[in-house]
Amino acid sequence: MATPVIILTKSDLCIDLPEKLDEIASVSMGVDVISCSSENGDGYEAINAYGGQGKTIAFVGSSGVGKSTLINRLMGQDLLATKMIREDDDKGRHTTTHRQLLRLPNGGIVIDTPGMRELQIYTGNLSKTFEDIEEIATRCKFGDCSHGTEPGCAIREAVENGTTLSEKRFESYQKLQREISYAGLICPPA
Protein backbone atom coordinates (compact mmCIF):
# COMPACT_ATOMS: atom_id res chain seq x y z
CA MET A 1 0.00 0.00 0.00
CA ALA A 2 1.34 3.43 -0.95
CA THR A 3 1.02 6.45 1.34
CA PRO A 4 1.20 9.75 -0.54
CA VAL A 5 2.99 12.64 1.14
CA ILE A 6 3.38 16.11 -0.33
CA ILE A 7 6.81 17.62 0.26
CA LEU A 8 7.41 21.30 -0.30
CA THR A 9 11.17 21.60 -0.82
CA LYS A 10 13.29 24.74 -0.65
CA SER A 11 11.02 26.18 2.06
CA ASP A 12 13.79 28.63 3.00
CA LEU A 13 13.12 30.39 -0.34
CA CYS A 14 9.39 30.76 0.32
CA ILE A 15 8.41 34.22 1.55
CA ASP A 16 4.87 33.22 2.58
CA LEU A 17 5.35 29.60 3.74
CA PRO A 18 2.29 29.41 6.08
CA GLU A 19 0.04 30.68 3.28
CA LYS A 20 1.47 28.16 0.78
CA LEU A 21 1.04 25.30 3.27
CA ASP A 22 -2.59 26.35 3.84
CA GLU A 23 -3.20 26.38 0.07
CA ILE A 24 -1.73 22.91 -0.30
CA ALA A 25 -3.68 21.57 2.68
CA SER A 26 -6.94 22.93 1.25
CA VAL A 27 -6.63 20.72 -1.86
CA SER A 28 -4.94 17.68 -0.36
CA MET A 29 -7.36 16.46 2.28
CA GLY A 30 -6.04 13.49 4.19
CA VAL A 31 -2.50 13.72 2.78
CA ASP A 32 0.39 14.78 5.01
CA VAL A 33 2.22 17.92 3.89
CA ILE A 34 5.85 18.48 4.93
CA SER A 35 8.01 21.48 4.17
CA CYS A 36 11.78 21.09 4.19
CA SER A 37 14.95 23.02 3.50
CA SER A 38 18.34 21.58 2.65
CA GLU A 39 19.85 24.91 3.72
CA ASN A 40 18.76 24.68 7.36
CA GLY A 41 17.66 21.03 7.70
CA ASP A 42 14.04 21.81 8.55
CA GLY A 43 11.57 18.99 7.87
CA TYR A 44 14.04 16.16 7.32
CA GLU A 45 13.20 14.32 10.54
CA ALA A 46 9.53 14.22 9.46
CA ILE A 47 10.48 12.88 6.01
CA ASN A 48 12.88 10.34 7.50
CA ALA A 49 10.03 8.92 9.59
CA TYR A 50 8.41 7.60 6.38
CA GLY A 51 11.44 5.53 5.42
CA GLY A 52 12.28 3.20 8.26
CA GLN A 53 13.29 -0.46 8.13
CA GLY A 54 11.31 -2.36 5.48
CA LYS A 55 9.84 0.76 3.85
CA THR A 56 10.51 2.31 0.46
CA ILE A 57 10.23 5.98 -0.46
CA ALA A 58 9.98 7.21 -4.06
CA PHE A 59 10.26 10.89 -4.84
CA VAL A 60 8.31 12.10 -7.88
CA GLY A 61 8.47 15.62 -9.25
CA SER A 62 9.72 17.99 -11.92
CA SER A 63 13.39 18.57 -12.63
CA GLY A 64 15.00 20.99 -10.24
CA VAL A 65 12.57 20.62 -7.34
CA GLY A 66 15.25 19.14 -5.11
CA LYS A 67 14.67 15.37 -5.17
CA SER A 68 18.37 14.45 -5.37
CA THR A 69 19.32 17.11 -2.82
CA LEU A 70 16.65 15.74 -0.49
CA ILE A 71 17.99 12.20 -0.89
CA ASN A 72 21.58 13.36 -0.27
CA ARG A 73 20.42 14.97 2.96
CA LEU A 74 18.57 11.80 4.05
CA MET A 75 21.65 9.73 3.19
CA GLY A 76 23.90 12.01 5.23
CA GLN A 77 26.32 12.46 2.31
CA ASP A 78 26.42 13.81 -1.24
CA LEU A 79 26.02 10.65 -3.33
CA LEU A 80 23.81 12.04 -6.09
CA ALA A 81 24.72 14.80 -8.53
CA THR A 82 22.74 18.02 -8.22
CA LYS A 83 22.62 21.18 -10.30
CA MET A 84 21.54 24.74 -9.69
CA ILE A 85 18.34 26.12 -11.20
CA ARG A 86 18.91 27.81 -14.58
CA GLU A 87 19.21 31.56 -14.06
CA ASP A 88 17.66 32.54 -17.40
CA ASP A 89 14.25 30.97 -16.72
CA ASP A 90 14.37 29.62 -13.11
CA LYS A 91 13.70 26.09 -14.40
CA GLY A 92 15.22 22.89 -13.13
CA ARG A 93 17.86 21.00 -15.02
CA HIS A 94 17.72 17.29 -15.77
CA THR A 95 20.40 15.88 -13.49
CA THR A 96 19.11 12.41 -12.66
CA THR A 97 18.93 10.35 -15.86
CA HIS A 98 17.92 6.94 -14.48
CA ARG A 99 16.16 5.37 -11.51
CA GLN A 100 18.38 4.36 -8.65
CA LEU A 101 17.70 2.42 -5.43
CA LEU A 102 19.62 3.46 -2.32
CA ARG A 103 19.59 2.05 1.22
CA LEU A 104 19.02 4.79 3.80
CA PRO A 105 20.97 4.84 7.07
CA ASN A 106 17.69 4.14 8.95
CA GLY A 107 17.23 0.86 7.06
CA GLY A 108 14.66 2.09 4.55
CA ILE A 109 15.09 2.31 0.79
CA VAL A 110 14.76 5.40 -1.36
CA ILE A 111 14.22 5.54 -5.12
CA ASP A 112 15.71 8.49 -6.98
CA THR A 113 13.78 9.15 -10.20
CA PRO A 114 14.44 11.45 -13.16
CA GLY A 115 12.42 14.66 -13.32
CA MET A 116 9.02 14.39 -14.91
CA ARG A 117 7.42 16.55 -17.54
CA GLU A 118 3.89 15.41 -16.66
CA LEU A 119 2.07 13.06 -14.35
CA GLN A 120 -0.90 11.14 -15.68
CA ILE A 121 -3.49 9.42 -13.61
CA TYR A 122 -4.21 5.81 -14.52
CA THR A 123 -7.16 5.18 -12.26
CA GLY A 124 -10.78 6.15 -12.72
CA ASN A 125 -11.56 6.25 -9.01
CA LEU A 126 -11.47 9.75 -7.57
CA SER A 127 -13.90 8.81 -4.81
CA LYS A 128 -11.18 8.20 -2.20
CA THR A 129 -9.30 11.44 -2.83
CA PHE A 130 -12.39 13.60 -3.20
CA GLU A 131 -14.72 11.90 -0.72
CA ASP A 132 -15.93 15.28 0.52
CA ILE A 133 -17.05 16.36 -2.98
CA GLU A 134 -18.74 13.02 -3.64
CA GLU A 135 -20.68 13.38 -0.38
CA ILE A 136 -21.75 16.98 -1.11
CA ALA A 137 -22.88 15.95 -4.64
CA THR A 138 -25.36 13.46 -3.17
CA ARG A 139 -27.30 16.47 -1.84
CA CYS A 140 -27.81 18.04 -5.30
CA LYS A 141 -31.46 18.43 -6.33
CA PHE A 142 -30.88 16.56 -9.60
CA GLY A 143 -29.03 13.23 -9.86
CA ASP A 144 -27.41 14.26 -13.16
CA CYS A 145 -26.34 17.69 -11.90
CA SER A 146 -23.33 19.06 -13.81
CA HIS A 147 -22.56 21.47 -10.96
CA GLY A 148 -22.84 24.46 -13.25
CA THR A 149 -25.98 26.56 -13.14
CA GLU A 150 -28.64 24.03 -12.14
CA PRO A 151 -30.96 25.09 -9.31
CA GLY A 152 -30.41 23.18 -6.09
CA CYS A 153 -26.75 22.34 -6.81
CA ALA A 154 -25.16 21.49 -3.46
CA ILE A 155 -21.63 21.75 -4.92
CA ARG A 156 -22.18 25.33 -6.15
CA GLU A 157 -23.72 26.23 -2.79
CA ALA A 158 -20.75 24.74 -0.90
CA VAL A 159 -18.26 26.60 -3.10
CA GLU A 160 -20.14 29.89 -2.81
CA ASN A 161 -20.30 29.76 0.98
CA GLY A 162 -16.61 28.77 1.01
CA THR A 163 -16.76 26.94 4.32
CA THR A 164 -17.22 23.36 3.13
CA LEU A 165 -15.55 23.40 -0.28
CA SER A 166 -13.02 25.74 -1.87
CA GLU A 167 -13.27 26.69 -5.53
CA LYS A 168 -9.66 25.51 -6.06
CA ARG A 169 -10.39 22.05 -4.66
CA PHE A 170 -13.47 21.68 -6.86
CA GLU A 171 -11.48 22.87 -9.90
CA SER A 172 -8.82 20.24 -9.13
CA TYR A 173 -11.53 17.59 -8.98
CA GLN A 174 -12.99 18.69 -12.31
CA LYS A 175 -9.55 18.84 -13.94
CA LEU A 176 -8.74 15.29 -12.84
CA GLN A 177 -12.12 14.08 -14.11
CA ARG A 178 -11.36 15.62 -17.51
CA GLU A 179 -7.88 14.06 -17.60
CA ILE A 180 -9.31 10.65 -16.78
CA SER A 181 -11.98 10.97 -19.46
CA TYR A 182 -9.34 12.06 -22.02
CA ALA A 183 -7.33 8.97 -21.13
CA GLY A 184 -10.40 6.89 -21.92
CA LEU A 185 -11.00 5.82 -18.35
CA ILE A 186 -14.44 5.79 -16.79
CA CYS A 187 -15.11 8.08 -13.85
CA PRO A 188 -18.66 8.54 -12.60
CA PRO A 189 -19.44 12.26 -12.20
CA ALA A 190 -20.06 13.64 -8.73
More confident residue, 161 or 127: 161
Residue 126 pLDDT > 70? no
Q: What is the pLDDT of residues 175-185, one digit of tens each?
A: 777 766 655 54
Tally of residues, the chain:
190
Q: In what order do the strands lie in the sheet with 100-103?
A: 56-58, 109-112, 100-103
pLDDT in tens, 146-155: 888 889 999 9
CATH of 5-112, one of 3.40.50.1970, 3.40.50.300, 3.40.50.850, 3.40.50.1820: 3.40.50.300
Mean pLDDT of 71-84: 70
131-182, CATH topology level? Ribonucleotide Reductase Protein R1; domain 1 (1.10.40)
Q: Fill in the amino acid letter for 11.
A: S
User: What residues contact 105, with CB distance under 8 A and at least 6 apart?
Assistant: 74, 75, 76
pLDDT 10s digits, 23-60: 888 777 778 898 888 888 888 888 888 888 888 888 88
Common-topology check for domains 5-112 and 131-182: no
- Residue spans of the domains in the chain: they are 5-112, 131-182
